[in-house]
Copies of this chain bind each other. A is one copy, B any other.
């Protein structure tokens, strides 16, 4: 069947041949679609943008989650903002030292769709440590003080309601919501197609937190493949090293070597961030 789904950024498009449309609805917040594709297996699409696929979601979720969780010396309480597909929850749940996992997802229909159609991604949502809060992540964080050891911002693209997840106000809320030593990670889009956004989010984090760094992964179903993540810390300096007692994790992407390598940025990106460093340190 030559039916194709296309995820179109301005002037650039990723398309996948579709075997079946498994689900399609308009929730109160967005259009939710689950497709079965030849190349990526099952795929969650929100407002026509690929969010996650069975085949490559590990390249995203493992790096979004394990980088902060393997640096933080004692992550006990973890919050995930967005991430209703459950992929980030599944990765957090691999850490036995985590006692509570709060999934703050505004759209319960995404969680339902993931539970129903994406069992390999949503499989840890029934873990006893998981509490699903059907709330706006921005409002949630605005009220919290020293609640979490790690906050994972598993945001969609910065469009519509998600724009607030890329604001300095939200980052300041997250910093206040972190306990001492706390870390935040966030996806911050493509270094190639959204370079200004990556730089802006780094600048925002340097202002709102004590310290920050950008790291990357390669997510084949996202435009350009190369993808940036932000790591920000309540305390400075931010250490990028794995904690000493880090155990081996069952992963398909993350390894201790990949963890360290993820912070080695190509010169074009490194230099763009160094401009921010000079600004923030007042030498810009």
Contacts and interface: CB of A to CB of B under 8 A. Distances in A.
Contacts of A257: 264-265
Given A10-B38, A12-B15, A224-B220, A59 B266 contact: yes
A260 B10 CA distance: 34
Nearest to A259: B264
> Which of A10, A255, A267 has its CB near the most chain B CB atoms (within 10 A)?
A267
> Which of A4, A11, A253 has its CB near the most chain B CB atoms (within 10 A)?
A11
A266 B270 contact: no
A261 interface: yes
A225 interface: yes
Nearest to A38: B11
Nearest to A11: B38
A102 interface: no
Contacts of A267: 251-255, 258
A218 interface: yes
A258 B254 contact: no
Nearest to A250: B267
Contact of A220 (B39, B221, B225, B255): B225
A56 interface: yes
Interface string A243-277: 00000000111110110111011111010000000
Contacts of A223: 220
Contacts of A219: 225
Contacts of A185: none
A16 interface: yes
B264 A252 contact: no
A14 interface: yes
Interface in A179-238: 190, 192-193, 216, 218-226
Closest 5 CB pairs of A and B: A225-B225, A220-B224, A261-B261, A11-B38, A261-B264
11 contacts: A10-B38, A11-B39, A13-B13, A13-B16, A59-B266, A220-B223, A220-B224, A253-B266, A258-B264, A261-B261, A261-B264
